């Protein structure tokens, strides 16, 4: 298919900060390196600060700026709304966009509460009946090494799952004089390290294993209760967690440990996941993101050991669209994979993943962790993990690698 043959779809993105930049780059690369059947056109960027939004639009070639998200949704040339705003606005914007018949990509976590996430999921299901698609932005599913790990698990290469270990470690708040931001306000962010970064490893472990977290025992802490406001005029109260640690159980019986913190001095963006099964193990660290380590117990004892797999071969998920083997990918590439997968799903009429139902499942785990931490680490079951829970766990990437729903 040539560039001229692709049907156009107008993208309207709300939010222009860190995630806005990452998503903008993703939309541009998706149409350049992949071959989606829809041509994404960056028609409108939404932001309350017109000057800042216009500068962002200039840098990433957005055609126009809107300072009211409702006006952006109402535009006839916008067919897909990309939500990159703080969590307290997700529900209102997403539900309005879906009701207007616009496809939606919403950043994680899906919402600030289970109730909001449930309303969003219900709205997505109603819109689905009319062919309108909704997806939540857990982009780390689309890191090629993690997509390969999912393939190996589905292929039975590690056998029956016994242990799950998951950490997301950052250090950007270790300085007690680091300024206050909206991410430290429960009314804006919902939670702290738990929802901001812990949500990623909650989703990733459920995606990789094809199982659900059924219960948790948790503890949380806020190490610095107030921080200086930007500009130096007073301080702001920190009303979210700085760190969360919890035990979990998966639906297949595996034991799990989780840790999310923004106080791990020296760790900039370390997502560490290890899966131990009866026949092997898999280990991943995002600070070495092109590598997956695999232990295969079926090989002779003399040569057993963790094998370092450099995930850059064209047969690996997504890599066929990029560079020759050995040429590494980076953080921003996951957003290109996300954009390409969503465009493909819309064009093909299939359901993109992770779905809003997947986002709701993560939100339920977050709520259970908060409830357990508030009751001295008592065991709290995760709502919605019984027989009635029908959310998906698979993903199909733009390289045509189907990863079945388990």
Domain with CATH 3.30.360.10 in the chain: 143-330+356-403
Q: Which of 24-33, 39-48, 113-122, 379-388 has the lowest mean pLDDT?
A: 379-388
> Are 12 and 46 contacting, i.e. CB atoms less than 8 angstroms apart?
yes
- The per-residue pLDDT for 395 is 53
For the four alpha carbons of 203, 205, 208 and 214, in that order, the dihedral sign comes to negative
Mean of all residue pLDDT scores within the chain:
94
The whole-model pTM stands at: 0.93
The backbone torsions φ and ψ at residue 166, rounded to the nearest 5 degrees and listed phi first, read: -140, 130
Cα 14 from Cα 2, distance rounded (Å): 29
- The per-residue pLDDT for 167 is 98
Q: Which residue has 């062919």 as its token pair?
A: 131
Model confidence band, residue 402 (pLDDT cutoffs 50, 70, 90): very low
- The per-residue pLDDT for 231 is 82
Specify the pairing of strand 64-66 against strand 38-46. parallel
- The per-residue pLDDT for 2 is 55
Decide if pLDDT at 406 tops 90: no
Q: Which residue has 């998706």 as its token pair?
A: 30
- The per-residue pLDDT for 6 is 84
Mean pLDDT of 272-296: 98
Q: Which of 1-5, 70-74, 158-162, 273-277 has the lowest mean pLDDT?
A: 1-5
Cα 34 from Cα 105, distance rounded (Å): 19
The backbone torsions φ and ψ at residue 385, rounded to the nearest 5 degrees and listed phi first, read: -105, 15
CATH code for the part of the protein at 143-330+356-403 = 3.30.360.10
Domain with CATH 3.40.50.720 in the chain: 3-139
CATH class of 3-139: alpha beta
Q: Which residue has 């997806």 as its token pair?
A: 135
pLDDT tens-digit readout, 157-204: 999 999 999 999 999 999 999 999 999 999 999 999 999 999 999 999
Mean pLDDT of 208-214: 98
- The per-residue pLDDT for 3 is 56
- The per-residue pLDDT for 384 is 75
Q: How far is CA 25 from CA 22, 178, 232, 338, 379, in A?
A: 5, 28, 33, 11, 42
- Work out the number of other CB atoms within 10 angstroms of the CB of residue 188: 17
Cα 386 from Cα 15, distance rounded (Å): 36
Mean pLDDT of 52-56: 97
The DSSP string of 136-182 is EE-GGGGSHHHHHHHHHHHTTTT-SEEEEEEEEE--TT-STTSPP-G
Decide if pLDDT at 354 tops 70: yes
Q: How far is CA 150 from CA 166, 207, 252, 307, 351, in A?
A: 15, 7, 16, 17, 19
């Amino acid at each position: 298919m040539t560039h001229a043959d692709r049907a156009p779809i107008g993208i309207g993105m709300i939010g222009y900060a860190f995630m806005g930049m990452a998503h903008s780059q993703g939309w541009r690369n998706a149409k350049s390196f992949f071959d989606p059947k829809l041509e994404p056109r960056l028609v409108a960027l939404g932001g309350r600060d017109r000057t800042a939004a216009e500068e962002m639009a200039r840098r990433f070639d957005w055609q126009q700026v809107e300072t009211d998200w409702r006006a952006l949704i109402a535009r006839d040339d916008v067919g897909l709304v990309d939500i990159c705003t703080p969590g307290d606005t997700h529900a209102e914007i997403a539900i309005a966009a879906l009701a207007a018949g616009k496809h939606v990509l919403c950043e994680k976590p899906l919402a600030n509460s289970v109730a909001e996430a449930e309303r969003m999921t219900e709205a997505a299901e109603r819109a689905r009946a009319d062919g309108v698609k909704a997806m939540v932005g857990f982009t780390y599913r689309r890191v090629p090494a993690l997509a390969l790990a999912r393939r190996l698990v589905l292929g039975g290469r590690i056998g029956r799952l016994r242990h799950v270990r998951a950490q997301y470690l950052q250090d950007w708040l270790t300085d007690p004089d680091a300024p206050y931001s909206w991410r430290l306000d429960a009314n804006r962010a919902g939670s702290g390290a738990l929802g901001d970064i812990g949500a990623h490893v909650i989703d990733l472990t459920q995606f990789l294993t094809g199982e659900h977290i059924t219960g948790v025992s948790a503890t949380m802490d806020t190490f610095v209760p107030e921080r200086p406001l930007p500009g130096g005029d007073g301080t702001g109260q920190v009303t979210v967690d700085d760190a969360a640690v919890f035990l979990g159980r998966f639906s297949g019986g595996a034991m799990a440990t989780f840790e999310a913190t923004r106080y791990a001095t020296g760790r900039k963006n370390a997502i560490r996941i290890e899966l131990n099964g009866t026949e092997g193990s898999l280990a991943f660290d995002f600070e070495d993101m092109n590598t997956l380590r695999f232990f295969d117990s079926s090989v002779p004892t003399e040569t057993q050991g963790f094998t370092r797999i450099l995930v850059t071969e064209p047969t690996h998920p997504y890599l066929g669209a990029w560079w020759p083997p050995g040429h590494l990918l980076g953080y921003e590439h996951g957003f290109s994979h996300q954009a390409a997968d969503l465009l493909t799903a819309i064009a093909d009429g299939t359901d993109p993943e992770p779905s809003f139902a997947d986002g709701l499942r993560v939100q339920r785990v977050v709520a259970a962790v908060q409830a357990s931490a508030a009751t001295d680490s008592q065991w709290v079951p995760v709502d919605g993990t019984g027989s009635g829970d029908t959310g998906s766990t698979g993903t199909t990437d733009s390289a045509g690698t189907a990863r079945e729903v388990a």
